[in-house]
Amino acid sequence: MALPNINPTKTEAWKKLSDHFKDNKDINIKNLFKEANRKEAFSVQLNDLNVDFSKNRITKETLSLLVDLAKEVGLKQAVEAQFSGEIINATEGRAVLHTALRSTSEEPVFIDGKDIKPKIQTTLRKIRSFSNKVISGKWKGYTGKSITDVVNIGIGGSDLGPDMVVESLKFYKNHLNTHFVSNIDGDHVSEIIKNLNPETTLFVIVSKTFTTQETITNAETIKNWFLKSATIFDIPKHFVAVSTNLEAVDSFGIDKSNVFPMWNWVGGRFSLWSAVGLSISLSVGFDNYRALLDGAEKMDIHFRNEDFDKNIPVILALISVWYNNFYKAETEAVLPYSQYLSKLPSYLQQAIMESNGKGVDRNGDKIDYETGTIVWGSTGTNMQHAFMQLVHQGTKLIPSDFIGYKESLYGLTDHHKKLMANYNAQMDALAFGKTKEEVHLELKFSGDEDKINQLLPFKVFEGNRPSNAILFDKLTPQSLGKLIALYEHKIFTQGILWNIYSYDQFGVELGKELAKKLLKQQ
C-alpha cells in the first residue's frame, strides 16, 4: 500500500475551502467568541493535555471542510501505511517507523517479512543496562574511576533531539554532566573538551551514516585528544557509538560490544526514540527515558484512532494549512512558556523544515501551491520583550503555538501565576486586541486627552491574530514525549495534505558536495 497521490488543490474539499475562504476571510476572532461555548467546542482533552484552538479564524464549517480535505487526500490510509511499516519514504525506499520504537503493543511490525519489535526490545534492554552501569558508577574509565561526564557527538537529528530532551528534562537529571558537540567549528569541540577529564568522560558518537563530516571530524579530534593521555586499548571504556554503519564504526576503533544499533527505517530527525536517545537515558535514567517513550505512544494511539475532528495533531496540521495556503501566512511561531523548553524551537525547525520543505509532489512534479511552514520561536516571557511587538502589531500574520504547564516543577507559585498570566494575556491580546474606542477612553482617563489624536493609531491593537494553547498539567518525561509526538504527527499529516515526501532530505546534499569539492581545491 503506497501513499495516496492526490493534488490537494484539485480536490472537491479544496474548491469548497477556497469559496469558504472568499466568503469568510475577514472573519474576526472576537466576533466568533460571541457564540456561547466556543472555547469548549474548539478544545480537545487528552489525559493531562488540553489543546484549545478556539482563538483561530475558523468556524465549525471551516473545520469540517478541512477535515473533508484530510479525508479526500487519503489521510486515514496514509496513517495506517505509516504505522504498519509500508515503504512510505518512497524516494529512499524505506519504511518510517519511529512509532514502532515506542510501541508497547504486541502487534508485530514487519520489514522484509521480519518482525522488528524483538530487536527494538533488545536495544532498549541494552540502553537500560548500559545506562544503569554508567549512572551507578559501576562502569569504570581507564584509570578505574567512574564516569562524570557524557559527551554526545552528532549533528542534526543525531544532536538536536537528544540535546533538546536533555535540556527539557533537566529537572529529572542525575549527577552526570551531559555535553553536546555538533558544529564543525573547531571552537565548539575545543570549548567542550577544555574542562573535561579523559579519565572520567564517556563519548557517545551518534551518526546514522557514520560518514557525516562534522561528526567524524569532531570524533577524530576527540579521539586524538583522548589518546594524549590514554592508549588505544582504553578506547572501549570511553567511546560508544550509535549507528547503522557497523563497518565504519569498526574502522574508527570502537568495540563491537559498544555499538548501539540504528535502523534505516528511522529518520534522523525522528530518532531520539532509538539508541540515538542514549544520552537522554544516561542523563535522566532509563525509567524516565521509557516514560518519554510512553508519552509518545499515548499520542500515537490518539493519532492513529481518533476521528479527525477530535484528533489533536490532525487539527493543528489542518489549521496550519488553512493559514499557510489560504491566508498565505509565511511563518509560524512556537512559544513555550517554560525555560526548560528553550531548545524546542530549533529542534522543531529541523523536524518541520527538513521534512516538509519540498517543492515537488509525489509524482516528481513542481508544486504550484505553498508547502512547508517556516517555524521559529523562543520562550515566554523573554520573547515578549524581544520579538512579540511584531507579532502583535506588525504587518505579518503569524499563527502561534503557546505551550504551557499548569504547575511548575520547583513550586514558586508566585512566579508561576505570573508566568501563566502572561501566557494567557498574550493569546488574549493577539486575538481580541484593543479598539480605537478603548484606546480613546484610556488616554482620556490617564489625562492625556491632548495627545489622543497624536497617539491613538499607535496604541490600537487590531487583534484577530491566531494562536493555539497547548496546555499540560506538568512538564514530565511523559508529557514531553506526548508533545514531541504531537508535532511529529502534525508534520506527517501536512506532508500527506501537501502530497509531498516528508522523510527524505535531498535538499541538504548539494551544499555538502560543494563543500567537499572546495576543500579538495584548498
Using rule CB under 6 A, residue 209 touches ligand F6P: yes
How far lies 246's CA from each of 207, 242, 243, in Å? 11, 9, 7
Using rule CB under 6 A, residue 156 touches ligand F6P: yes
Nearest distance from residue 350's CB to ligand F6P, in Å? 7
Q: Which window, 21-29, 104-112, 192-200, 208-216, contacts ligand F6P (CB under 6 A)?
A: 208-216
The site string for ligand F6P over 476-505 (x = CB under 6 A, - otherwise) reads: -----------------------------x
Nearest distance from residue 161's CB to ligand F6P, in Å? 9
Q: Which window, 207-215, 224-232, 314-322, 472-480, contacts ligand F6P (CB under 6 A)?
A: 207-215
Amino acid in position 162: P
**Which residue in the set 54, 82, 207, 356 belongs to the binding site for ligand F6P (CB under 6 A)?**
207
- Our CB check for ligand F6P shows the closer of 215 and 468 to be 215
377, 372, 361, 357: which is closest to 325 by C-alpha? 372
Using rule CB under 6 A, residue 157 touches ligand F6P: yes
Radius of gyration of the chain (CA): 25
Using rule CB under 6 A, residue 158 touches ligand F6P: yes
Which parts of 350-492 are beta strand (E)? 374-376, 400-405, 467-472
Q: Which window, 31-39, 203-211, 278-286, 295-303, contacts ligand F6P (CB under 6 A)?
A: 203-211
* Omega cis (within 30) before 99: no
Q: Which window, 206-214, 405-413, 445-453, 478-486, contacts ligand F6P (CB under 6 A)?
A: 206-214
Three cell numbers at 472? 499540560
In this structure, what are the phi and psi dihedrals at residue 389, rounded to the nearest 5 degrees? -50, -45
Nearest distance from residue 296's CB to ligand F6P, in Å? 18
Write the CB contacts of 142 (distance below 8 Å, at least 6 apart in sequence).
199, 230, 231, 234, 237, 238
453, 84, 23, 100: which is closest to 266 by C-alpha? 100
**Which residue in the set 55, 102, 179, 269 belongs to the binding site for ligand F6P (CB under 6 A)?**
269
Nearest distance from residue 397's CB to ligand F6P, in Å? 30
Using rule CB under 6 A, residue 212 touches ligand F6P: yes
- Our CB check for ligand F6P shows the closer of 213 and 363 to be 213
CA distance linking residue 221 with residue 204, whole number of Å:
14
CA distance linking residue 132 with residue 281, whole number of Å:
9
Using rule CB under 6 A, residue 268 touches ligand F6P: yes
**Which residue in the set 215, 283, 288, 493 belongs to the binding site for ligand F6P (CB under 6 A)?**
215
Using rule CB under 6 A, residue 155 touches ligand F6P: yes
CA distance linking residue 178 with residue 272, whole number of Å:
16
Using rule CB under 6 A, residue 277 touches ligand F6P: no
In this structure, what are the phi and psi dihedrals at residue 478, rounded to the nearest 5 degrees? -60, -50
In this structure, what are the phi and psi dihedrals at residue 141, rounded to the nearest 5 degrees? -80, -175
Amino acid in position 479: S
CA distance linking residue 422 with residue 439, whole number of Å:
21
- Our CB check for ligand F6P shows the closer of 136 and 211 to be 211
Nearest distance from residue 200's CB to ligand F6P, in Å? 26
How far lies 216's CA from each of 206, 207, 249, 277, 476, in Å? 10, 9, 10, 19, 34
CA distance linking residue 283 with residue 258, whole number of Å:
18
389-428 burial, b at 16+ Cβ within 10 Å, e below that, comes to eebbeeeebbbbbbbbbeebeeeeeeebeebbebbeebbe
Using rule CB under 6 A, residue 131 touches ligand F6P: no
Write the CB contacts of 521 (distance below 8 Å, at least 6 apart in sequence).
none
Question: Which of the residues are catalytic?
Answer: 354, 385, 512
Nearest distance from residue 333's CB to ligand F6P, in Å? 23
- Our CB check for ligand F6P shows the closer of 421 and 508 to be 508
Nearest distance from residue 183's CB to ligand F6P, in Å? 13
- Our CB check for ligand F6P shows the closer of 78 and 155 to be 155
The site string for ligand F6P over 224-263 (x = CB under 6 A, - otherwise) reads: ----------------------------------------
Strands 114-115, 110-111: pairing is antiparallel
Using rule CB under 6 A, residue 208 touches ligand F6P: yes
Q: Report how many residues bind ligand F6P under the rule CB under 6 A.
A: 14
Q: Which window, 105-113, 151-159, 368-376, 447-455, contacts ligand F6P (CB under 6 A)?
A: 151-159
Interface residues for ligand F6P in 328-357 (CB under 6 A)? 354
CA distance linking residue 40 with residue 62, whole number of Å:
17
> Residues in the site for ligand F6P, rule: CB under 6 A?
155-158, 207-209, 212, 215, 268-269, 354, 505, 508
